[in-house]
Every structure is written in structure tokens, then in C-alpha cells.
């Protein structure tokens, strides 16, 4: 089977903790976090075009195709490499928008990695990460492709080895705009920084959680329910929330008890992104 015929996974990420430790002069927030991928993903299929156009075959409601991160990623890769080929991008969208799972960033990263291979542009991971950073602060971690402690605006990584885990992930029926959370006057921006070597599982909190819960009570309600099973946390800027289990059966037992008006899934943690770029 040709690689043009395959589906390319774009996995979710969760933030095991997320602290805002400062702010740069340009307004970007300085963060410390641990990213972990999940075996829950969008998928992208790339269809070659002979007319040189980059098209999104599956546009999202309310998002102009030229603004979609997959189209922007393909355009950026062509600009960086001088490639001239065209492509139609088919995105099977499972990750919720405004869910804090990095869906748009993951789609952009997968587009870069897939087209780098399909167009034979030959860029290494570091170069792809630099292109990705121009698209969004979360794009580089998906190209880096390993569980990592991240710093800066989220682009400096220290790799971590974590035990196997399963997560019950709840998906509130709200979309939380990232900019709204980061612009809030109530957001704490002075959490003391730590060294990567000091981090341990269970450490810290999500500094964005209090703001998101105040603005979106459904996030708070889902977190309250999850806390009956452990140290529940919100991922990213929300709205999705998770709690960790060391056995899949325990996670599925909790899922079976989920109230009828809540949506959840069980996903395993991944040590590596399914696509590897050296």
C-alpha cells in the first residue's frame, strides 16, 4: 500500500500539570507542564493533487479553510522547502475543539510530518518543530513525539519515562477558547518554577483550571464527579478533564458509572507519537 493511501494519526495530549511561571514582554506566557499523548486521535489522509493547490476536503463549521491549521501547516512546509506539489487534506475529526487536548495543534503536526515524508522534503524533527512553532505553541511537542517536561512557551523539552496508565477522559459539552483563559485578569501568572528533575507524578496543578471553572460551570461539574476516583485535573485550557488509573479495568468500571448527561472515554497513555521523525 502506498503511503498516500494510509491514514496518519493525530493523537490527543493531556497536561499532567500546567503552571504559569511568568510572561514575556511580547505577551506570551511562560509555562511548565508535562505532556503525555493518548491513544485517542484524529486521523488525516493526504490526497495528491496535480494542480499545485492545497485544499481542505473536510472543512470545520465556522472555520475558514485557509485558517485551518492543517492547511496552514501544508502551506508553511511548502514555503520552507520550495515544494510545489498540491494536496487535498481529509481530516477525520474526533478530538473536540476547545477541549484542551491539542487537537488543532496535533492535526498541524501530523500534516507537517506526513507531507514531509510524502513530498520527500527531508526535514529533520528540529526543523519541523521550528516550522510548527510558527503555527502554535503546542505544535512542537507533537513533532518531538515523546512524553516530556516542557518549558518556555511550551517548546523546550526534557524527556520523561512514565509507567503505563489509563485515563478516564470526560468531554464537557462546551468549547473553551484558549485566549479567553490566558487573557483573564484572574489567571495566576507567578507560580514558582521548578527544575525538570524535580517533577514527580501527582505534582502541582493546572493554573488555568480555576479560571475555566469560573467561566464554564460544566467544567467544574465534571471535575467534581471525577474527583470521586482520584486526583482529577483539567487538560490545557479546558474543557476536557481526566483522572488516572493504573489498570484499564478500573478506568472502564468508572466509565460505566458515568452519569447519563456526561460523555467520557477511556484512553491509554502513549510513550511516543505514532509517527516518528528522526
Q: How buried is residue 187: exposed, middle or buried, by Cβ count under 10 Å (0-12/13-18/19+)?
A: middle
The highest-level CATH class for domain 3-159 is alpha beta
More confident: 28 or 44: 44
pLDDT in tens, 201-233: 999 999 999 999 999 999 999 999 999 999 999
pLDDT in tens, 130-172: 999 999 999 999 999 999 999 998 889 999 999 999 999 999 9
Cell numbers linked to 117? 515524508
Question: Annotated catalytic residue: which of 13, 42, 68, 107?
Answer: 13
Q: Does residue 248 contact residue 38 with C-beta atoms inside 8 Å?
A: no
CATH (one of 3.40.50.800, 3.30.70.360, 3.90.1010.20, 3.30.70.890) for 166-270 = 3.30.70.890
pLDDT in tens, 224-273: 999 999 999 999 999 999 999 999 999 999 999 999 999 999 999 999 99
**What do you get for the CA distance between the two ends of the chain, in Å?**
23
Q: Which helix (H) or strand (E) holds 46?
A: strand 29-49
Instruction: Determine the Cα–Cα distance for residues 57 and 51; give it in Å rounded to an integer.
Output: 15
Question: Annotated catalytic residue: which of 42, 68, 107, 138?
Answer: 138
Domain ranges, ordered by start, for the chain: 3-159, 166-270
pLDDT of residue 5: 92
Residue 6 three-state SS:
coil
* Contacting residues for 2 by C-beta, under 8 A, at least 6 apart: none
Positive or negative torsion for Cα 131, 108, 147, 171? positive
Q: Annotated catalytic, 138?
A: yes
Amino acid at each position: 500500500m502506498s503511503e498516500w493511501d494510509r491514514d496518519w494519526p493525530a493523537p490527543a495530549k493531556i497536561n499532567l500539570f500546567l503552571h504559569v511561571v511568568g510572561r514575556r514582554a511580547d505577551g506570551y506566557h511562560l509555562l511548565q507542564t508535562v505532556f503525555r499523548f493518548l491513544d485517542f486521535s484524529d486521523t488525516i489522509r493526504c490526497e495528491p493533487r496535480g494542480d499545485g493547490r492545497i485544499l481542505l476536503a473536510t472543512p470545520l463549521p465556522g472555520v475558514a479553510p485557509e485558517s485551518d491549521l492543517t492547511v496552514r501547516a501544508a502551506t508553511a512546509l511548502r514555503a520552507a522547502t520550495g515544494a510545489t506539489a498540491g494536496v487535498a487534506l481529509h481530516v477525520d475529526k474526533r478530538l473536540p475543539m476547545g477541549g484542551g487536548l491539542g487537537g488543532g495543534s496535533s492535526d498541524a503536526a501530523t500534516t507537517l510530518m506526513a507531507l514531509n515524508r510524502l513530498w520527500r522534503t527531508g526535514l529533520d524533527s528540529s526543523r519541523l518543530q521550528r516550522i510548527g512553532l510558527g503555527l502554535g505553541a503546542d505544535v512542537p511537542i507533537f513533532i518531538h513525539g515523546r512524553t516530556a517536561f516542557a518549558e518556555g512557551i511550551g517548546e523546550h523539552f526534557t524527556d520523561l519515562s512514565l509507567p503505563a496508565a489509563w485515563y478516564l477522559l470526560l468531554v464537557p459539552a462546551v468549547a473553551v477558547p484558549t485566549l479567553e483563559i490566558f487573557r483573564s485578569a484572574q489567571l495566576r501568572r507567578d507560580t514558582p518554577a521548578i527544575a525538570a528533575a524535580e517533577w514527580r507524578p501527582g505534582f502541582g496543578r493546572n493554573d488555568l483550571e480555576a479560571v475555566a471553572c469560573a467561566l464554564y460551570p460544566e467544567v467544574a461539574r465534571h471535575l467534581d464527579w471525577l474527583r470521586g476516583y482520584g486526583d482529577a485535573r483539567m487538560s490545557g485550557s479546558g474543557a476536557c478533564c481526566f483522572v488516572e488509573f493504573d489498570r484499564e479495568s478500573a478506568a472502564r468500571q468508572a466509565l460505566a458509572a458515568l452519569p447519563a448527561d456526561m460523555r467520557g472515554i477511556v484512553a491509554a497513555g502513549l510513550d511516543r507519537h505514532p509517527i516518528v521523525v528522526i
